[in-house]
Structure 1
């Protein structure tokens, strides 16, 4: 499914690199606002990493949370940080073949869909998520934005660089680097999948009410980080939010 099956050292480096203002004040802030009230609901976290969002979902009142990740090391870290909660489970698995452990009210997929190595893999990921959801369920995904122009400023506002060939075709490799003090500290590689392809494959899987929206930042990010930082990012964002629903049956 993905290029993101991190080994032990890579997983730890990725977690350190993404423990950042951008992850906390932008990605997490946006996804949590989109997820809304989780009290009494079940949540599927696809590409859960070390379990940050899954633990938050439980803390917000979700009655059952399942996190799935392709990286065994990420799953180990998630289990270690969430020990003692029998309603919070983490399993090693592939987004194209999710474990069949019941149905969920909400699915979360943060920075995972763009790891699909082929159009067929991306289609299977959408179908697998759809098939694991209750009627009326909601999907919240954060995807690489195919409209981002790597030659222009934007991601650098949050110490990120994007490398992608000019005029990249569907499925082309994209390299994203995380910087600290201007130097790369981690790199991930994913694929270039246009927005309209996401829309077609999500509809094909059965999702309805698709909506794209921009990432938002917390109210205190602006005074702490400068008034133009997030505006600069939004002028050329490398990530975008996609929400969708499962029609009532």
Structure 2
């Protein structure tokens, strides 16, 4: 990543198929630039040591998509796209022996270290690309990702195969993404965000480009069926698909997520899977 890319301005929106390297570079650029504002705006909602699955506010303590928290005791867990490490600290609090968080953005990991020092709970982190995990086969008992890397990866099937590689037989995977149906609607929290505009079946990525056509932000789209087939193709068994409803007491407006839209359409999809014993 070069300094001129960090300073580049968005000049146009494209719908196209980005490459793996281009997608990783764009995610790093975007999060290096946005991490401070993101943590300032959403840090209180996310907490310092809480596991929140998405803007609806569903927590892992309520959903238990990684299983009984007691089962995490003594285990090794990987969080992909950990941001400031909030979910990882919650996992540490449940007794997981080792939790490792990776993120493509160094600035996000700086915020993780800031919270480490404030809370006294230090999380092991590494700057890495979710498309090429720097870990041995079967290294983890569980892998999780709360809106981490998966929405921004063009080849979901390849990313899930890589995730399955580092998961031990019998291990669990759970990850949340923008609900695929949101792809049909403008990304707006108001009434204009309730009008179907785009085809659900248009799988071209949303790409923000600078004047030279270089990607500064990439968000990819898979249908629900695409995600299910990618999970199965990675050798995993789908165990649950959760579409959290918007709670009446949640007044948070988070980008295109809002109470208005949350009453009518799902905003988040959480997939849970397990790697077969003996795999």
Name the TM tier (shorter chain).
0.7 to 0.9
Aligned counterpart in structure 2 of residue 10 of structure 1, from 16, 34, 52? 34
The answer to whether the Cα contact below 8 Å between 2:228 and 2:238 also exists between their aligned partners in 1 is no
Structure 1 stretch displaced more, 89-98 or 105-114: 105-114
TM-score (norm 2): 0.68
Determine whether 1:90 maps to 2:102. no
1:166 aligns with 2:205: no
Q: RMSD across aligned C-alpha pairs, in angstroms?
A: 3.6
Q: What is the 5 A alignment of 1:15-26?
A: 15-19=39-43, 21=45
The normalised TM-score by structure 1 is 0.75
Inter-partner Cα distance in structure 1 for 2:88 and 2:97: 11
2:150 aligns with one of 105, 113, 127: 113
Distance 1:142 1:76, change over 3 A: same
> 1:98, 1:59 → 2: CA distance?
25
* Contact 1:135–1:247 (8 Å) recurs in 2: yes
Look up the match of 2:237: 208
The residue that corresponds to 1:128 in the other structure is 162
Relative to structure 1, the CA distance from residue 166 to residue 141 in structure 2 (aligned partners, 3 Å threshold; closer, same or farther) is same
- Higher strand fraction (1 or 2): 1
Q: Distance in 2 between matches of 1:30 and 1:244?
A: 18
Structure exhibiting the larger radius of gyration computed from Cα positions: 2
Q: Deviations over 1:135-178 (max 9, x none)?
A: 1111111012112265489x738xxx699961161133179xxx
Q: 1:245 to 1:49 in 2, by over 3 A?
A: same
Equivalent positions of 1:18-167 (< 5 A) are: 18-19=42-43, 21=45, 27=54, 29-32=58-61, 33=63, 34-35=65-66, 36-37=68-69, 38-83=72-117, 88-100=123-135, 103-111=139-147, 112-116=149-153, 118-119=154-155, 122-148=156-182, 150-151=184-185, 156=189, 166-167=198-199
Give the Cα–Cα distance (whole angstroms) in 2 for the partners of residues 163 and 131 of structure 1.
Answer: 40
Instruction: Give the equivalent residue in structure 2 for 1:222.
Output: 248
Give yes or no for contact 1:162–1:174 (8 Å, CA) kept in 2: no
User: How far apart, in 1, do the equivalents of 2:135 and 2:27 lie?
Assistant: 22
Hey, what's the Cα distance between the residues in 2 that align with 1:26 and 1:123? 21
Unaligned runs of 5+ in 1: 176-186
Q: Deviations over 1:75-118 (max 9, x none)?
A: 222133225656x31000000111115611111111121101x2
Instruction: Name the SS of the counterpart of 2:135 in structure 1.
Output: coil
